[in-house]
Chain A
Amino acid sequence: MHTNEISMLINEQIESISTNHNIVKINNLNVYADSHQILKNINLTIPKNKITVLLGPSGCGKTTLLKSMNKLTDLYKELKVTGNIFIEDDDILHTTKNVPSIRQKMGLLGQRPFPLPMSIYKNISYGIKLKGIRDKKLIAFSVEKYLKEVGLWEEVKNRLNQPATSLSIGQQQRLCLARGLAVKPRIILADEPTSALDPISSKIIENLFRSLKEHYTIILVTHVLRQAVRLADHVVFMYNGEVIEQGSPNTLFNTPKTQKLKEYLVDGN
């Protein structure tokens, strides 16, 4: 193992366990799709090492908000984003830093898994290599570490060279989570990650989130009220592109202030 790789690894470990203000702060965020406004003047603060649930009905802008945070909105020419998104004090909408390094701060877990067209092992090593690590032993060590972190190691340790698509959907989703963790993000962006999974796989993912929040900030998009109740440390309720209410789950779910949230809670139950 090269000395610089070791020091890179140590620095990243230190950074990941440090207690600095690892938060997301969003000021006056607006997203337009041509003439239609998808997000309207969003102001948010996401607490570090907590699970923040973005809750709201379909089409309220939750996914767009999530994609704005790692600049995936750049892929869509029709989307125009204004305002500020501070990730660790960096305004990612106006920074001169390159986009890939910004995105590496956030692992993305989609509605359904998208394993890379390669083996189980290479799916994890892909992200590690993107971080500039070339030492084979270190890569192998990291692959095992992240597969263990998502509870997949025992299930796949004898078939690491098999295609990732040979795994079940639930396993694929955990593989994608491990792949995301391998680039050492600060934040995990999860966009309805259990919507395509069976109840058992969903429970595994939920349990993983509970344990992962010790080291990562998790932003979870869901429209399943029960999931929000089970997981949330902080809730942001959105409706029609606006943040209607935000705060602790206890406050929001027990004493909602707005009629929209009250109706949503009644319908959700």
Chain B
Amino acid sequence: MTIKVALMGNPNVGKTSLFNALTGARQHVANWPGVTVEKREGTVLHKGFRIHVVDLPGIYTFGSKSIDEQIARDYILFEAPDVVVVVADAVNPEQGLYLLMQVLELRADVILVMNAVDELEKSGAQLDRYELEKHLGVHVIPTVATKRQGVSELLNTIVHVFKSKPVHLPVKFRYDEEVEKRINELEEESSSKCENLNVPTRWLAIRLIEGDDVVKWFCDIPFQLNEEEKKRLGLLIAKSRYDHINMIIREAYSGGLSSKRLPLDEAIDHVLTHKYLGIPIFFAIMYLIFSFTFEVAQPLADGIDASIAYLAELVKASLGENWFSSLLADGIISGVGAVLVFTPNIFVMFLGLGVLEETGYLPRAAFVIDRVMYALKLSGRSFMSLILGFGCNVPSILSTRAISDPRERLVTILVSPFVTCSARLPVYILLAGLFFPKHAGSMLFLMYSASIILAALSSVLLNKVLFKGEPVPLIMELPRYRKPTVLGLLNYSWSKGRHFLQKAGTIILAASVAIWFLGSFPPGDIENTFAARLGKFLEPIFKPLGYDWRTTTALIFGMAAKEIMVSTFSTFYSTEGVEFTEAMRNAMDPATALSLMFFVLTYIPCFATIAAIRSETQSSKWTAVSILYGLVIAYGLAYLVKVVIGGWVGT
């Protein structure tokens, strides 16, 4: 028999640790349908029951104001979980209990988990769980999720609550007279206006006052509540809840909960968010993550690359030169290699990101750099992701999982291909060295500057078009600093990295085989392959930019991976007795070469990035938008550069 359990709670209360402790490695990470919000599910067998746990997004209120809240609310309302577990932080219980009180207005089969009781005890305070149970009317389980403490008791209680339901009606918290009067009126109104109501009318009335649009799911006729009334009564409701919570805390806690923040936390924060040191420290940590991702992992990636190449050679050597061995070696093995070569970088990146997230530095980083990103209508959270793009766009897009606001996450994903990755560097170096030998360095600087400006402008533009220019809010909590656990880190990087391999792997593999096919058939003369024919076919489109069919073909291959362009140039421009560089110099003028550099910067980054965008947005529409947007910008910009620079050189 299956028990559906929903896990709710504020962000940073150890909900994910508890989820990991409950389900172990048997978990599945995907997105909630239609949005870029992560959905984690897992199953655990306990006492003959299959307990299926869904980790809902971390929220502060059981409302509808953000997508996270809507997901959590809709899940509780419409997916009918059998048991709801609300996780609160034992050290900072107020906001968790606030959420609990909102949930209790809807249903009674709720379990309250007070997590991190070890930290509470360390601070010298004690928590009387039975006192909490008495006041709240729910089972209370103290846990230490990182040490799996209290987990089996929680599982027992889940089974117990499941078996013994329905026990009682939701506990009724009384508000001020004025509020109660309005609640009664609205309750009466709803019984006439709404048919087949399967939620408590009291809950509905309170949600109405708090300005939730949920009521439209249940009632056809709108209610009359003006803004002023909603605001006034809403504040009264919130105030009564906190008063009640403070009363409960006074009764249930003994010892020094009154002491404010941990002095050590305050000291660390003072340094990490310091007026002068904050930003240098942020960049130093960014640099560490960057070099960790791209340098420490690089030998591993190179090793994989070399092994794949060796394997491909081996296959060719043993099967001989024919189309089958070529399919196997150049198509499939290289395609699998193209996926595998990313794995070290991605897992190492998630490991680094996991450390930042688990220790609690990530929100501090966002805090320190927020002002810059606010100007771009984003928040500090997207900065880290975009920076990673200078190494490779794939980990950059994957790292947006740490961004909690779905709008911001989407914009960051769409913008990140403009951050020029290291694979584009060989193309710049080749072209800049060939056509601007005296100013090659300045040209590289120009490309990196253009990349940053493009990403910045695009994020403002996308925000304006998609979200009417509303800046992403940054109301976040700076959690207590924590020591990361090895298990937690491995879980973090494994569950997130695996998702990429599964989802993006197939697309990359398929695209690699397709490119192999275009480049190898029909066999024989390279100028006669489908790829070359496609290049010739598309040549007229690129005529205004001054690209011939060879360059066009290189751009086609460049969609597989940018560094391939260099070898494509050498293949197609090589003729008897003439270096390909010489041939290229004859085929293009500097203005064309510069426009080509801009084209390479902005058009389709590579299949792996496309695959990452597809798997992270879970939307073909946004993937298509990203591709088209890139192509349009590339063409427009390249044309502009060609005309302006060409004209300027001409005069």
Does A pair with B? Answer: no
Interface residues of B (CB under 8 A from A): none
